[in-house]
Structure 1
Amino acid sequence: MNHTFINSDAIRHEFSMAMSAMYQTEVPLYGDLLDLVAEVNTEVLTKHPEIKEQLEYTGEIDRLSMERHGAIRLGTADELSMMRRLFAVMGMHPVGYYDLAPAGVPVHSTAFRAIDAQALNQSPFRVFTSLLRLDLIADEALKQEASNALFNRNIFTDNVVSLIKRFEGQGGLTLDEGEQFVKEALETFRWHDKTPVSKELYQRLLEQHGLIADVVGFKGPHINHLTPRTLDIDTVQQGMQEKGIPPKAIIEGPPKRDCPILLRQTSFKALEEAVSFKNPNGEYEQGHHTARFGEIEQRGVALTPKGRALYDQLLSQARNQLGATPNEDNASQYYQILESAFEAFPDDYHAMHNEELAYFYYQPVDNAADISSAMLGLERVDVQTVDSKQVVNALIEKGAIRIEPIVYEDFLPVSAAGIFQSNLQQDKQSNYDGNSNKHEFEQALGASIHDELALYKDIQAQSLEKCLMSLGNYV
């Protein structure tokens, strides 16, 4: 039988829109945040045509308004394995390994996302997915109770599991099946205000860590935040305060720069929500839970291993100089220290390129006359095969090639931990001694994790090859 299958990118786009609509209904303040971000982005694009031009060159302009990422937290290896299969239907693959335990959050994580530039521009939706590390709970009795609670829940509908198997068996889903999939998959991420655990167990889990209570205490891995992308996170942070949306104290990540790098994040503080706890006698007891919030991200250029090492060094230097966890009381001091430390990181795309600190697209300039003029004196070079850094830099300097930043699509462990901690009302700064275990995470996942730096390197190499082939027409 011949089937006409819907593209996985289209399923991902429809799912992300359905997720956003659901979350706005569940957390109305998130809708207010989307409006604010849209206002700020429109203003930036109007006042800074060079930013608009850059986004047009990189193909990101059309996806700016649909830029989203979400975050979920899972409790077992089986949940993670099935979640990987669910995301595969939407063309999303595990990219990057993040161990948050050293920063006081008992999880390790990956990000499910598309992995090539064209698919990302069609739908950039990504989900930061964490797996709870029960091995880090010191109380053995509590660990067993938590394990039992997770064992007794099923976070996927029978229909979505059936559709996942159908996708795997026939190599895709039809349009009708794709629509059913979006509807059924959404149920896994829905908020449930009735819990399967008692208030007493919830409180003991909460005393261990707010994230443990959030994972173990509920029917499923409710989406705990969604994230629009802004072009000016500092203005959004100020705008949240003016509109009565309570922001977290610190913008996580690097300082404000003319040429943004990696990722900056902030959020509005998590909401306190009414919850009914199911006690052993089957009756429900009223209480509350705090975990769901709205996040904002400003994305910059992806860094090479050399650039990332410098970033990590400067961030550690700033935090060590502060001598405390950045918070509301020391925010101003922290920003000053951070900006001072990052003076050592070039704030110019061409400098970053020449020092091999960041990844870029290579594109022939638009004007054929400019290309022909720049190519004079390079006639004897076979630009279709050359990979000499010196020649490429000469072509850039002569104006035959322009470079545009490859946007960072991934996450930062310290920033993610900072967001989690601030929104779980985790006042005490805990540290977990458990070893980072990527192998164990991949075993639970049932697949290998893509190296995000290798993906950026490949995108840059492909763009250079395509660019040089185009320039070969002028030789």
Structure 2
Amino acid sequence: MNQPSFVSPDLIRQRFSKAMSDMYREEVPLYGALMELVEQTNRGVLDSAPDIARQLHNTGEIERLDLERHGAIRVGTAAELATLARLFAVMGMLPVGYYDLTPAGVPVHSTAFRAVHEASLQVSPFRVFTSLLRLELIEDPQLRAFAQSVLDQRSIFTPAALALIERAENQGGLTEQEAADFVKEALETFRWHHSATVTGEQYQQLSAQHRLVADVVAFKGPHINHLTPRTLDIDIVQTQMPAHGITPKAVIEGPPRRQCPILLRQTSFKALDEPIAFNDQADARGSHSARFGEIEQRGAALTPKGRALYDRLLNAARDELKDFPNEANAARYNALMAQHFSEFPDSYEGMRQQDLAYFRYFVTDKALAASNLKTLTLEALLENGYLRIEPLVYEDFLPVSAAGIFQSNLGDSAQTHYGVHSNQQVFEAALGRSTIDELGLYAESQRRSIEQCFASLN
């Protein structure tokens, strides 16, 4: 008896990412304008900066540049999170990293579902930043119980999606038709809903606690709240957004502009104010703002030592600012960031020598033509031009940056302090498994590339 032929999880993820992008472009027309601006900017950078073009060709990132997306979704219960983990697993996406946003006044903790091997990332680098609402942070016990009861009554997955998840788990994959059905059904979880599941008064009570609480609790599904393309120059995009009818947030989140980008820089346009109908109304009389356009520029993944330096410099700049970065202090904040980050080496070789970033190693033509290289160390091979390096792109997120994006779209009235500590153990219990240490993944990718080089050189 012939075994069924299953579609690769990487291809299912690639198809789902495209379907999500198509859906979001229909739902949020401004997203289409944003995509056009990013594509235009990327073409300009590739034409004018041969070094960047060469680096992307060397690493293979040029093929994935137009595919690059990250989404974000927020769920309300442990059961919803655990089922999302199973849904993403069908697409080869695992929970990487733990992010606590409560120190920045956002009552969620999060992980990022993504592929974990560089070969899978090349096929589709689609990621979904997934947040779980911390209901215990709702101060009013009656409101907390009400929110729990509303969430307990909803199902954010279609019956067909649940059946296909179970089928994939039981038979080890999905056939071509099953994969097509899965993409269609899974997409429904991320779709926008114009009708709330609560009354207008209940919505206001939830929103008064925190606007994100209303966003998570008041609808029958979690809806994707942004879908982010990757740009090669976020400063150009930030400058050009107003000319395309898009108002950007005041400051770019993440590190300052550099010759050699590191980690992740993000900006966005403000959340759209969209009409909704409450369940005590026959038509759309209320409004809700949740969905926004975000853009990102990705740089080198940093080692633990590099992250410690990054965090120290970021905190020093923010401490000196003594305020949340906003329109009034944007120029001063940017100047402080540039000043403090002058301490961080701005060359890839400088970062490599100080063990601040992760790299992929490549054998050069000079090495392939040489002999008697077996006795040379890694450093000697690099110094003599037998190996070259390219930075490993950062595939993950930054808690402070994520909170900054959230806050800019939640308004200044968002609560800014919660007297609690992060609780990774509770999050992972809800998830049904441990999150994966992202730094370990980069270290493994770097190690594999070094081993491949030594194997090529015998």
With the length of structure 2 as denominator, give the TM-score of the two structures.
0.98
* 1:217 aligned onto 2:203: no
Which residue in the other structure is 1:313 paired with? 312
> Contact (CA 8 Å) 1:209, 1:426: kept in 2 or not?
no
> Contact (CA 8 Å) 2:298, 2:393: kept in 1 or not?
yes
Which residue in the other structure is 1:26 paired with? 27
* Matched ranges for 1:333-372 at <5 A: 333-368=332-367, 372=370
Q: Which amino acid in the other structure matches residue 296 of structure 2? A: E
- Cα deviation for residue 259 of structure 1 reads 0.3
* Matched ranges for 1:367-446 at <5 A: 367-368=366-367, 372=370, 378=373, 381=375, 391-428=377-414, 430-446=416-432
Change (3 A) 1:428 1:175: closer
Which residue in the other structure is 1:462 paired with? 448
* Matched ranges for 1:108-123 at <5 A: 108-123=109-124
User: Residue 451 of structure 1 is aligned with which of 418, 423, 437?
Assistant: 437
| Aligned positions, number | 457
Cα deviation 1:234-262 (Å, max 9, x = unaligned)? 00001101212111111000000000000
Percentage of pairs with the same residue? 60
> Contact (CA 8 Å) 2:367, 2:385: kept in 1 or not?
no
Which residue in the other structure is 2:61 paired with? 60
Change (3 A) 1:136 1:414: same
Which residue in the other structure is 2:105 paired with? 104
Secondary structure, counterpart of 1:293 in structure 2: coil
Cα deviation 1:282-302 (Å, max 9, x = unaligned)? 755610001101100000000
- Cα deviation for residue 58 of structure 1 reads 1.1
Counterpart Cα distance in 2 of 1:449 and 1:250: 30
- Cα deviation for residue 426 of structure 1 reads 3.8
* Matched ranges for 1:134-173 at <5 A: 134-173=135-174
Which residue in the other structure is 1:17 paired with? 18
Over the residues paired in the alignment, what is the CA RMSD in angstroms? 1.2
Secondary structure, counterpart of 1:220 in structure 2: coil
Which residue in the other structure is 2:239 paired with? 238
> Contact (CA 8 Å) 2:61, 2:122: kept in 1 or not?
yes
> Contact (CA 8 Å) 1:210, 1:426: kept in 2 or not?
no
Counterpart Cα distance in 1 of 2:283 and 2:337: 48
Q: Which amino acid in the other structure matches residue 9 of structure 1? A: D
Cα deviation 1:19-59 (Å, max 9, x = unaligned)? 00000000000000000000000010111111111111111
Unpaired stretches in structure 2, ≥5 consecutive residues: none
Counterpart Cα distance in 2 of 1:64 and 1:192: 30
* 1:331 aligned onto 2:330: yes
* 1:291 aligned onto 2:290: yes
* Matched ranges for 1:180-329 at <5 A: 180-279=181-280, 283=282, 286-329=285-328
Unpaired stretches in structure 1, ≥5 consecutive residues: 384-390
Secondary structure, counterpart of 1:86 in structure 2: helix
Counterpart Cα distance in 2 of 1:59 and 1:152: 46
Cα deviation 1:197-239 (Å, max 9, x = unaligned)? 1111111111111111100011101000000000000000011
Which residue in the other structure is 2:85 paired with? 84
Secondary structure, counterpart of 1:278 in structure 2: coil
Cα deviation 1:41-87 (Å, max 9, x = unaligned)? 00101111111111111111100011000000000000000000000
With the length of structure 1 as denominator, give the TM-score of the two structures.
0.94
Secondary structure, counterpart of 2:309 in structure 1: helix
Counterpart Cα distance in 1 of 2:448 and 2:12: 27
> Contact (CA 8 Å) 2:300, 2:357: kept in 1 or not?
yes
> Contact (CA 8 Å) 2:75, 2:132: kept in 1 or not?
yes
Q: Which amino acid in the other structure matches residue 101 of structure 1? A: T
Which residue in the other structure is 1:386 paired with? none
> Contact (CA 8 Å) 2:210, 2:414: kept in 1 or not?
no
Change (3 A) 1:305 1:188: same
- Cα deviation for residue 435 of structure 1 reads 1.7
Counterpart Cα distance in 1 of 2:21 and 2:411: 25
> Contact (CA 8 Å) 1:278, 1:285: kept in 2 or not?
no
> Contact (CA 8 Å) 2:407, 2:414: kept in 1 or not?
no
Secondary structure, counterpart of 1:69 in structure 2: strand
Counterpart Cα distance in 2 of 1:226 and 1:321: 33
Q: Which amino acid in the other structure matches residue 265 of structure 2? A: R
Counterpart Cα distance in 2 of 1:58 and 1:460: 13
- Cα deviation for residue 367 of structure 1 reads 4.0
Q: 180-189 vs 392-401, which deviates more? A: 392-401
* 1:133 aligned onto 2:134: yes
Q: 284-293 vs 316-325, which deviates more? A: 284-293
Secondary structure, counterpart of 2:365 in structure 1: coil
4+ residue runs over 6 A deviation: none
